[in-house]
Amino acid sequence: LPQPRVANGQLAADTVEDATRILERDIFPALGTRPISDIRAHELLMVLKQIEPKGLRYTARRARQRCSRVFRHAIGLGYIERNITEDLRGLLEPPQVRHRPGITDPARLGELLRAIDGYTGREVIGIALKLALLFFVRPGELRKARWQQFDLPAAQWRIPAECMKARVQHLVPLSRQALELLRKLQSISADSEYVFPSLRDPSRPLHGAALSGALRSLGFESNEVTPHGFRATACTLLNELGWRSEAIERQMAHGVSDSVRRHYNYAQHLPERRVMMQAWADYLDELRASRSGSTDEGGSRQR
């Protein structure tokens, strides 16, 4: 990997770890002992194509991207003159669109909330599930959250650009309920840089399958709800509650294309988003306490 970029902090540690894992698992066994100047485009394509039958089209594309970094670095060092991964553009199968199921029936969401309250597994995981619904960020963004990103007195979580899918900074206003859960977590995981540390190794974040596994243990199957599906839950119900789509989309960090990234304002609609996030937390409390559940009660925008 391009070591100068790593040393200067231009690549997040998680990105470096992910890239190394992909290269060691999928590329090095076939090509790792070969001089980089001897590797031809069709040989690399054959290796990448072997990943696709496993149902890992997205992983195959990521592997090509990681290889591209290696080849660009080799060009800079004078080992090769061109990046052969550019010849492979369009030759890999496009990733399959994955549907992330989310609960959008208020009554059923209330059942989920009560089930999470009764979770008897590791306390950090139970709190993570509650915060996942309150924040509706992407699961990886939640799991890898660090304490240094949180300003509890200011009631905000500032996610750095390198931790976001769109590579732009994101701000999450913290509701009273979220602050209470985070302060509880401080007594559990304050010794780790991660808010949700791994049980086996506190220097690492919670495993990616932990939240999904917890949902399954509570009786909620993957065809009904996933941690990523919490985003669909929030988006749908907030719209039904009458909140403006602009505030919802900005809070979900949606629609950040290359053309708008340069002028992206992470604080846009922030006053409205603060009110919305508190109303959302209050609405979840109402669903938790109710046995019927309805978007006609509570959580709606003040008109």
Concerning whether 264 is annotated as a catalytic residue, the answer is: yes
Catalytic residue among 138, 144, 170, 274: 138
3-state secondary structure of 194: strand
Q: What is the average per-residue pLDDT within 152-171?
A: 90
For the chain, how many structural domains are there in total?
2
Give me the catalytic one of 61, 64, 66, 231: 231
When the pLDDT of each residue in the chain is averaged and rounded to a whole number, the result is 86
From CA 36, how far away is CA 80, in angstroms rounded?
8
Domain that holds residue 112: 106-289
**Residue 111 sits in the same domain as residue 84:** no
What does the alpha-carbon distance between residue 38 and residue 166 come to, in Å, rounded to a whole number? 35
Least confident of 158-167, 218-227, 281-290: 158-167
The CATH number that applies at residue 76 is: 1.10.150.130
Same domain, 117 and 253: yes
State yes or no: is 263 an active-site residue.
no
On whether both 188 and 153 belong to a single domain, the answer is yes
20 and 158 inside one domain:
no
**In the chain, what is the straight-line distance between the N-terminal and C-terminal CA atoms, in Å?**
53
d(CA 219, CA 199): 23
Q: How far apart are CA 121 and CA 66, in angstroms?
A: 37
61 is catalytic: no
Model confidence at 59, in pLDDT bands (50, 70, 90)?
A: confident
Residues 166 and 194 both lie in one domain: yes
Q: Is residue 48 in a domain?
A: yes
The single residue of 25, 54, 165, 183 carrying the catalytic annotation is: 165
pLDDT of residue 62 exceeding 70: yes
pTM: 0.69
Examine the domain organization and report whether 48 and 157 are in the same domain: no
> Which of these is catalytic: 64, 73, 228, 273?
228
Residues 117 and 74 in one domain: no
Assess whether 25 and 157 both reside in one domain.
no
Domain membership flag for residue 303: no
User: How confident is the model over 277-300, as pLDDT tens digits?
Assistant: 999 999 999 999 987 545 555 666
User: What is the SS3 assignment for 156?
Assistant: strand
Rounded CA gap, 40 and 63, in Å?
16
In a domain, 95, yes or no: no
Residue 96 lies in a domain: no
Residue 156 lies in a domain: yes
pLDDT at 253: 85
49 is catalytic: no
For residue 98, being part of any structural domain is answered with no
Q: Scanning the structure block, which residue is given the tokens 């009560």?
A: 114
**Is 113 a domain residue?**
yes
pLDDT in tens, 30-41: 999 999 999 999
* 26, 59 contact by CB (below 8 A): yes
> Could you tell me if residue 244 is inside a domain?
yes
Last-in-domain residue among 88, 120, 154: 88
**Residue among 34, 40, 184, 254 flagged as catalytic:** 254
Do 182 and 40 belong together in one domain?
Answer: no
On whether both 114 and 67 belong to a single domain, the answer is no
* 155 and 216 part of one domain: yes
Of 88, 116, 134, the domain-final residue: 88
Contact by Cβ (8 Å): 234, 136: yes
User: Alpha helices of the chain — where are they, by DSSP H?
Assistant: 3-7, 13-22, 28-31, 41-49, 57-77, 106-117, 123-135, 139-143, 176-189, 210-217, 229-240, 245-251, 258-261, 270-289
Look at 154 and 16; give whichever has higher pLDDT: 154
